[in-house]
């Protein structure tokens, strides 16, 4: 994935959540992950003109 992003001249942002699980069962980890996803979607959908800033 990182190689494909680099080839497309896109930045990658790896966020490692200490003691995180795929289930996001810890509230603080879940909040951090959801915030990062929200940020990603807003930045990338705004770039495509497919959503408005909230």
Q: What are phi and psi of 20, to 5 degrees?
A: -80, 155
Q: What is the predicted pLDDT for the residue at 36?
A: 92
- The model's pLDDT over 2-54, given as tens digits with 9 standing for 90+, comes to 888 889 888 888 888 888 898 999 999 999 999 999 988 888 787 666 666 66
Q: What is the predicted pLDDT for the residue at 28?
A: 94
**CB burial string 13-36: b at 16+ within 10 A, e below:** eeeeeeebeeeeeeeebeeeeeee
Domain ranges for the chain, please list them.
11-48
Residues 6+ away with beta carbon under 8 Å from 37? none
Q: What is the predicted pLDDT for the residue at 35?
A: 94
Q: Is the pTM of this model over 0.85?
A: no
């Amino acid at each position: 994935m990182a190689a494909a992003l680099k080839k497309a001249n896109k930045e990658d942002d790896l966020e490692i959540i200490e003691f995180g699980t795929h289930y996001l069962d810890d509230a603080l980890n879940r909040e951090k992950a959801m915030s990062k996803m929200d940020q990603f979607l807003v930045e990338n959908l705004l770039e495509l003109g497919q959503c408005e800033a909230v």
